[in-house]
């Protein structure tokens, strides 16, 4: 990549999550005089307010960029090594930016959990990204970094011990304290609206292998209903993020040359508990809508700092092989939808900029793009843990 004016541009910095990203960069990298970064968005006055609120450097550049103005997008992507975008729903506001990054050889990270849109972007821009050298990495927040890297991490442990991957990994959410982001909720609404216009995407959403570019693996466990995990002796309930995480994990496997095997199965659910009480809790969890109600945050809104810092999550991964089971655990020290997500996407961008010179252009998920390099950053800087139990 030729010399660019900026290492990193935060697009959408006046939004709630974008401001958290800017704050994290200031706190974690503010002393790094070599980092050249900028804020971008539609409203320069709002961005100037963010700059003042966070006491950012006086000479920090503000760029006026509109997701519907291709000229402004091209100017931004041509000037930057990497674009970090929090402007979603991405199916409404992200397509032109992906096109611009792919065309101009610019790295890109986002927070998308929109598999129908991802499917379209992969088909439309993967060859352009390969030719230009752009490394485009989707889903660099709570969906799907803890899950994608959790499977990657436990499979490494299995191969180290047994010389082969686990055919089946069970992802089990043990605890998740915090709110879903307003952007995630808006993305779900945008997806439902898109399906009315493009009913052919229903098949994409239903197929766990829809992002593997033609590869079709074995039939997967139906994790859309309450069931008893007999190996844990625990009742488990459907997890709302599973439909996107499973697709990303199967895409990672494909991009890694099927390191997990072509017969790999993955399911992802929430642990409810043991016995009859566990069954009742699982049923209650299934009937509740965590993204519904009048009190859910809107795009651009979010919880207080105290609420973010009190949040956390704990996800376990059970890799089953004939010789037994290896268990891994991934935890985060802040609420998943905002505090932890803003740190994860920032470290993903930093990883691409600083640690991935050998990564060729293309459209990726986090594990095949950054793998252990990102795990190291997340442990050292972003409050995540990765452990084999």
Rounded average pLDDT per 10-residue block, the chain, 389 residues: 88 94 95 91 96 94 97 98 95 96 98 94 98 98 96 97 96 87 65 74 89 96 93 95 96 98 97 96 84 58 77 96 94 93 97 98 98 98 97
CA dist list (Å): 380 to 23, 313, 374: 18, 17, 10
Instruction: Return the CATH number of the domain spanning residue range 6-141+340-382.
Output: 3.40.50.720
Structure tokens at 183: 């952007």
Q: Report the length, in residues, of the chain.
A: 389
- DSSP state letter for 297: P
Q: Exposed (0-12), middle (13-18) or buried (19+): which is 313, by Cβ within 10 Å?
A: buried
The answer to whether 302 and 181 are in contact (CB under 8 A) is: yes
- Order of all β-strands in the sheet with 135-137: 61-64, 37-41, 6-11, 80-85, 107-109, 135-137, 362-364
How far apart (Å, rounded) are the C-alpha atoms in residues 83 and 98?
Answer: 10
| pLDDT at site 184 | 64
Residue ranges of alpha helices (H) inside 59-144 are 70-79, 90-93, 95-104, 115-132
- Order of all β-strands in the sheet with 265-273: 227-229, 234-238, 265-273, 168-177, 312-321, 324-332, 384-388
CATH 3.40.50.720 residue ranges of the chain are 6-141+340-382
């Amino acid at each position: 990549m030729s010399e660019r004016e900026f290492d990193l541009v935060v697009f959408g910095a006046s939004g709630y999550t974008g401001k958290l990203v800017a704050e994290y960069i200031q706190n974690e990298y503010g002393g790094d005089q070599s980092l050249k970064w900028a804020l971008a968005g539609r409203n320069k006055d709002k961005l100037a307010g963010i700059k003042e609120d966070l006491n950012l450097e006086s000479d920090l550049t503000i760029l006026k960029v509109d997701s519907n103005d291709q000229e402004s997008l091209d100017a931004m992507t041509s000037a930057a090594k990497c674009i970090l975008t929090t402007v979603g729903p991405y199916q409404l506001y992200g397509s032109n930016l992906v096109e611009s990054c792919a065309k101009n050889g610019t790295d890109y990270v986002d927070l998308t959990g929109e598999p129908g849109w991802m499917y379209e972007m992969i088909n439309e821009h993967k060859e352009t990204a390969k030719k230009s050298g752009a490394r485009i990495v989707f889903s660099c927040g709570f969906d799907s970094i803890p899950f994608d890297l959790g499977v990657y991490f436990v499979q490494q442990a299995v191969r180290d011990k047994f010389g082969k991957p686990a055919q089946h990994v069970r992802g089990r959410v043990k605890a998740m304290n915090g709110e879903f982001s307003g952007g995630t909720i808006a993305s779900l609404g945008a997806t439902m609206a898109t399906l009315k216009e493009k009913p052919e995407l229903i098949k994409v959403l239903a197929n766990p292998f829809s992002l593997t570019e033609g590869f079709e693996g074995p039939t997967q466990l139906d994790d859309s209903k309450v069931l008893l995990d007999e190996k844990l002796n625990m009742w488990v309930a459907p997890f709302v993020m599973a439909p996107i995480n499973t697709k990303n994990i199967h895409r990672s496997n494909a991009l890694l040359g099927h390191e997990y095997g072509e017969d790999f199965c993955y399911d992802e659910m929430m642990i409810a508990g043991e016995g009859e009480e566990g069954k009742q809790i699982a049923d209650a969890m299934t009937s509740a809508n965590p993204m519904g109600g009048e009190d859910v945050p809107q795009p651009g809104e979010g919880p207080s700092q105290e609420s973010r810092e009190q949040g956390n999550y704990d996800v376990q991964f059970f890799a089953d092989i004939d010789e037994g089971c290896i268990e891994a655990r991934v935890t985060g020290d802040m609420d998943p939808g905002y505090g932890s997500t803003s740190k994860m996407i920032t470290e993903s961008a930093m990883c691409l900029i600083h640690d991935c010179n050998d990564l060729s252009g293309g459209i990726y998920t986090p594990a095949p793009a950054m793998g252990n390099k990102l795990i190291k950053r997340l442990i050292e800087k972003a409050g995540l843990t990765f452990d084999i139990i």
